[in-house]
């Protein structure tokens, strides 16, 4: 398909046309005028990203679809305003940079880095309300909507939070951009990415060997060819679940030099598993924007549901446009994924397949924590590589929930965290995240598995 023939905007679409469809997972705002004032303010404020960057990412995702890049997408389950701080942002960046170094070294191909940050403030919930001791209040839906404290005031859906979410996203984005432009991501200085609390990690030695190997190759090439510009700076893109459609609509803009509509609140928005109905508001909204987009695909999705969704979201089979993130669970993936891979392949549709081994593997512990077992995350990821290899498709990336903080939220991994350890440092407001060691261990596993898949 020629890139010039791509669909720009359907005639029957507008940034607000989603409002004619059923919009799941939206808060109930009690003051329509206050909501309208806040969204008008947002629509006037400058965006967080540009159409140039959005199109550059689409091109890079096209290369990932062609098997020339691997996508590393990761960050918090939910960002919070309180965590918008220098150490938390830079530690998260450090983990992603270290993982990408492991992947570049092992996969021998460029890694495309996409953060779950600078806008990941809205969460889907399984129930609209929560009852404690006979008191029922609206569920917490993320800092862009309401507060986590169990009081009527905190749980009110407050339109002012839309403005604060934009401001916190901009602060995050500004700091990430400044770090990267200032040399923080320079491959000559991987020591900038060391995290103070992990000096004694069991994985540190293997990581250091890789870093030394890369340093040697870099020095060798630069002796021959002089300084190589591409290695002093890496690209970082942003993504979030575009759940709260009033917020997304306010950032849906037209620009002078590119036709069509762009969501300029993020480079790469995705549709969550709970809001991917074909006739729902989210699919309606997403079909009209020119960004590259992703959809989470859970175990209940059949080929009969998936193919019409692909038609709706990418009718022209545009390169780089559509990523499918499967999140099946370790026990379901063997059964649920192959029919989808076969159907998409049979129809010759162009997608990037990405594995999220986190969201299908969440469970509760007897002591009341939400956790994920590293062994199950690992199993889903390993099976994903094998299933793609057997189907003749390519697993082109991973989608992970992780943090650079010393948390104990997922059990297992190199340090053998147990359920008893969860109480020590469980900080997540929503889903359990991988800590630094568990993240690095997963990156090493990806390298081993994809080497196996390539040899098979």
Name which of residues 124 to 153 contact ligand PEP (CB under 6 A): 124
Sequence-separated (6 or more) residues with CB below 8 Å from residue 311: none
- Distance (Å, whole) CA 397 – CA 436: 19
CA distances from 317 to 209, 243, 280, 321, 447 (A): 42, 24, 21, 8, 30
- Please identify, among the stretches 17-25, 187-195, 229-237, 270-278, the one whose residues bind ligand PEP according to the rule CB under 6 A: 270-278
Stretch binding ligand PEP (CB under 6 A), from 170-178, 198-206, 268-276, 335-343: 268-276
β-bridge partners, 296: 325
Nearest residue to ligand PEP, by Cβ distance, number only = 272
Contact stretch for ligand PEP (CB under 6 A) within 42-50, 256-264, 271-279, 438-446: 271-279
> According to the binding rule CB under 5 A, does residue 356 interact with Co ion?
no
- Cα 65 from Cα 59, distance rounded (Å): 10
Q: Tell me the per-residue interface mask from 401 to 440 with Co ion, x by CB under 5 A, - otherwise.
A: ------------------------------x---------
- Beta carbons of 438 and 407 less than 8 angstroms apart: no
Q: Out of 48, 64, 77, 293, point to the residue binding ligand PEP (CB under 6 A).
A: 77
* Nearest-approach distance from CB 321 to Co ion, in angstroms: 24
Q: Which is nearer to ligand PEP, 193 or 353 (CB)?
A: 353
Binding mask of the shown chain, residues 76 to 95, with x at each position contacting Co ion by CB under 5 A = -x------------------
Half-sphere exposure of 247 (CA within 13 A, CB side): 31
Q: Where in 378-417 is the site for ligand PEP (CB under 6 A)?
A: none
> DSSP assignment, residue 219?
H
Cα 293 to Cα 123: distance, rounded to the nearest angstrom: 18
- Other Cβ atoms within 10 Å of 237 Cβ, number: 22
Helix (H, G, I), strand (E, B) or coil at 357: coil
Q: Considering only 18-26, 32-40, 269-277, 409-417, which stretch makes contact with ligand PEP by CB under 6 A? A: 269-277
Place of tokens 């069991």: 202
Q: How far is the CB of 21 from ligand PEP (least distance, A)?
A: 18
327 contact, one of ligand PEP, Co ion, none, CB 5-8 Å limit per kind: ligand PEP
What's the CA gap between 80 and 430, in Å, rounded?
A: 10
Interface residues with ligand PEP (CB under 6 A) are: 77, 124, 241, 272-274, 296, 327, 359, 431
């Amino acid at each position: 398909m020629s890139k010039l023939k791509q669909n720009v905007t359907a005639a029957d679409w507008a940034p607000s046309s989603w409002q004619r469809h059923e919009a799941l997972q939206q808060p109930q705002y009690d003051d329509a005028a206050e909501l309208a004032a806040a969204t008008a303010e947002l629509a006037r404020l400058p965006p967080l990203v540009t159409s140039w960057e959005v199109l550059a990412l689409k091109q890079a995702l096209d290369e990932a679809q062609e098997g020339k890049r691997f996508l590393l997408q990761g960050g918090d389950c939910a960002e919070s305003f309180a965590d918008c701080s220098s150490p938390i942002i830079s530690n998260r960046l450090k983990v992603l940079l270290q993982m990408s170094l492991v992947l570049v070294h092992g996969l021998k191909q460029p890694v495309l880095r996409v953060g779950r940050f600078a806008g990941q403030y809205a969460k889907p919930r399984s129930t609209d309300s929560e009852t404690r001791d006979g008191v029922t209040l609206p569920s917490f839906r993320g800092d862009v909507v309401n507060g986590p404290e169990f009081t009527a005031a905190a749980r009110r859906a407050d339109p002012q939070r839309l403005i604060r979410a934009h401001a916190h996203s901009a602060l995050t984005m500004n700091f990430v951009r400044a770090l990267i432009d200032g040399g923080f991501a320079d491959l000559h200085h991987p020591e900038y990415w060391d995290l103070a609390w992990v000096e004694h990690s069991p994985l540190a030695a293997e990581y250091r060997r890789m870093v030394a190997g890369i340093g040697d190759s870099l020095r060798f090439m630069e002796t021959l060819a002089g300084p190589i510009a591409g290695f002093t700076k890496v690209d970082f893109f942003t993504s979030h679940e575009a759940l709260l459609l009033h917020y997304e609509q306010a950032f849906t803009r037209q620009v002078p030099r590119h036709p069509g509509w762009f969501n300029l609140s993020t480079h790469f928005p995705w549709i969550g598993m709970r809001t991917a109905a074909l006739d729902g508001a989210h699919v309606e909204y997403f079909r009209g924007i020119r960004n590259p987009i992703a959809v989470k695909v859970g175990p209940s999705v059949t080929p009969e549901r998936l193919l019409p969704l692909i038609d709706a979201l990418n009718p022209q089979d545009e390169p780089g446009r559509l990523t499918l993130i499967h999140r099946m669970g370790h026990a379901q993936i063997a059964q649920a994924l192959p029919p989808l891979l076969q159907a998409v392949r049979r129809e010759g549709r162009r997608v990037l397949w990405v594995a999220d081994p986190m969201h299908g593997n969440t469970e509760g512990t007897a002591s009341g924590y939400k956790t994920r077992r590293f062994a199950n995350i690992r199993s889903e990821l390993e099976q994903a590589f094998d299933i793609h290899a057997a189907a003749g498709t390519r697993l082109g990336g991973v989608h992970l929930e992780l943090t650079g903080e010393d948390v104990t939220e997922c059990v297992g991994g190199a340090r053998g965290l147990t359920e008893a350890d969860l109480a020590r440092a469980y900080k997540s407001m929503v889903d359990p995240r991988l800590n630094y060691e568990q993240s690095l261990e997963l990156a090493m596993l990806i390298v081993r598995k994809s080497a196996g898949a390539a040899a098979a």
